[in-house]
Amino acid sequence: MALSLTELQSLYELPFFELIERSHQVHRNHWGRGEVQLCTLLSIKTGGCSEDCSYCTQSARYKTELDVEPLMTCEEILPRARQAKEHGAKRFCMGTAWRGVKSGDAKFNEVLKTVREVSKLGMEVCVTLGLLGEQEARELKEAGVSAYNHNIDTSPEYYPQIISTRTFEDRLKTIRALQQAEISVCSGGIIGMGESITDRLRMIEVLCNLDPVPESVPINALVPMPGTPLEHQPPVDIFEFVRLIATTRIAMPRARVRLSAGRNKLSREGQALCFFAGANSIHCGEKLLTADNPQMQEDMELLSQLGLLQEQEACSHQKDA
């Protein structure tokens, strides 16, 4: 639904229970019972990145505790993908600490080879490799990529406060190239970086006005990584988090709304409210890319306590409006 900032603001400012009742209803209408998609993340090239994203421990510009690791080979990645499948993951997402990719580059070719092999395992393959153009998007599609994560991160207005080495428009261009190649776009952002509520809603406004609307929308709570410029940011208020999830669900009824980074700091009750408000995907496994994530066992217990089912088949449960 292409909502304006004013419309998003009126939703966001509803009394809390009215907002989550509404978003829960939208969620039920489009997704039926409470199924949650589990995604596994693997950082296949870690650290040493040329970009200056203020939240990121992988930027070479900040003195962080991270060990830089070169691009993993296809042979190193495959066992990890098989293991994720055994643990119930329906989507396997690989991330690289790169500004972007270029067709013909040996490292990009290695990623294409990995994608071909992982997609044979029968999971959805998602990658997040940074900026790209139409040629690279076509090659990824041919190799079997079903989704590409490329976050707009925040509002266009706040973006320059967070990143100076590329523009908001660069991110949108990559999203357009992915859409051209008919790769599902996974795009969302981070909250808790010092932005205002208006910035958060502007981010949702941009996302819900994309055509097509993203297939999934990760909402990350900043993980304040030691050594980054944002290391001392205070945690996001849980009710603000839930309000944003609810507003996102109403604005994009058919999108997977992913409760992404930062779950380690959310209570079980906080997460339950997020699921009620319309979140229906999480990252599972001990690590995100470099940051800690809840233990698999804890997540399984939480889903079971809430009577939420794991998604049975990748992308097969989306009901029509």
Question: Which residues of the chain form contacts with ligand SAM (CB under 6 A)?
Answer: 55-56, 95, 97-98, 128, 130, 150-151, 153, 190, 220, 222-223, 225, 261, 289
**Residue 44 interacts with ligand SF4 (CB under 6 A)?**
no
Known catalytic residues are: 49, 53, 56, 93, 126, 186, 258
CB 255 within 8 A of CB 217: yes
Residue 59 binding target from ligand SF4, ligand SAM, ligand DTB, none, CB below 5 to 8 Å by type: ligand SF4
Minimal distance in Å, beta carbon 195 to ligand SAM?
13
Minimal distance in Å, beta carbon 15 to ligand DTB?
29
Is the CB of 68 or the CB of 121 nearer to ligand SF4?
68
Please tell me the distance from the alpha carbon of residue 127 to that of residue 39, in angstroms, as a whole number. 12
Please tell me the distance from the alpha carbon of residue 106 to that of residue 110, in angstroms, as a whole number. 6
Q: Which residues lie below 8 Å from residue 263, measured CB to CB, with a gap of 6+?
A: 221, 271, 282, 283, 293, 294
Minimal distance in Å, beta carbon 80 to ligand SF4?
19
Count of residues in the chain: 321
Is the CB of 71 or the CB of 274 nearer to ligand SF4?
71
Alpha helix (H) ranges present in the chain? 5-12, 16-31, 74-86, 106-119, 134-143, 159-162, 168-180, 197-208, 238-251, 268-277, 296-306
**Residue 187 interacts with ligand SF4 (CB under 6 A)?**
no
Selection from 147, 83, 168, 128 nearest residue 261 by Cα:
128
**Residue 97 interacts with ligand SF4 (CB under 6 A)?**
yes
Residue 41 binding target from ligand SAM, ligand DTB, ligand SF4, none, CB below 5 to 8 Å by type: ligand DTB
**Residue 188 interacts with ligand DTB (CB under 6 A)?**
yes
Neighbours of 182 (CB within 10 A): 11
**Residue 51 interacts with ligand SF4 (CB under 6 A)?**
yes
Neighbours of 299 (CB within 10 A): 20
**Residue 224 interacts with ligand DTB (CB under 6 A)?**
no
State the burial class of residue 200 (Cβ atoms within 10 Å of its Cβ: 0-12, 13-18, 19+).
buried
**Residue 229 interacts with ligand SF4 (CB under 6 A)?**
no
Q: Which stretch binds ligand SF4 (CB under 6 A): 49-57, 113-121, 183-191, 307-315?
A: 49-57
**Residue 229 interacts with ligand DTB (CB under 6 A)?**
no
**Residue 290 interacts with ligand DTB (CB under 6 A)?**
yes
Minimal distance in Å, beta carbon 88 to ligand SF4?
27
Neighbours of 319 (CB within 10 A): 10
Helix (H, G, I), strand (E, B) or coil at 142: helix
Binding stretches for ligand SF4 (CB under 6 A) = 49, 51, 53, 56, 58-59, 97, 99, 130
